[in-house]
Amino acid sequence: MNNTTTYSILERLPYTAPFRFVDDIQEVDENHISGSFHLHPDLNFFKGHFTDNPITPGVILTEILAQVGLVCLGIFLIGDEWQKQQLPFVLTSTNIEFYKPVYPDETVWVESEKVYFRFGKLKCKVMMKNALGETVCDGMISGIQIKENNVTT
């Protein structure tokens, strides 16, 4: 993988701060992706989850898994076809197990392995690790490719 590929994927993400949870992509190919995100202590959700002992909500960890492990991989897989898309992928299902808390100022790494990609549906086995290499959470995540003519308003 080269820096152009990483830049291209990151530029195509349909998210901006404060809801973009991908800092870097370390590896990507047709079958897997790995990337990371640093949970800055000033992120808004830490102010209220939990009082005097903030931890990252499971829904945010799931979103990190989805953005790195599903959307970034999906953008890579559809390649130049992305230009025809309004949104690259939207989440359709998750089955995530949580094992360890993630605190403010931690960096997490996501590994995602493609289970299948067909008919515009992508399913991946995902895992998140902390700086100690411990598994924070893992599971399965799926999404569907959304084309402009599929979107209703």
What pLDDT shows up at residue 148? 62
Q: Are 76 and 8 in contact (CB under 8 A)?
A: no
How many independent structural domains does the chain possess? 1
pLDDT at 112: 98
Structural domain range at position 75: 3-150
Contact residues for 6 (Cβ-Cβ < 8 A; gap 6+)? 24, 25, 28
pLDDT of residue 39: 98
d(CA 153, CA 147): 13
At 31-73, the pLDDT tens digits run 999 999 999 999 999 988 888 899 999 999 999 999 999 999 9
Predicted confidence (pLDDT) per residue in 103-151, tens digit: 999 999 999 999 999 999 999 999 999 999 999 999 999 999 887 654 4
Give the pLDDT confidence score for residue 153 in this predicted structure: 39
Q: Of 32, 38, 40, 49, which one is the catalytic site residue? A: 49
pLDDT at 87 over 80: no
Determine the average pLDDT of the residues in 20-37. 97
pLDDT beyond 70 at 1: no
Instruction: Quote the tokens at residue 73.
Output: 């991989």
Active site residue 49: yes
Query: For residue 80, is pLDDT > 60?
Result: yes
Give the CATH number, domain containing residue 110.
3.10.129.10
**Whole-prediction pTM:** 0.91
Q: What pLDDT is recorded for position 151?
A: 47
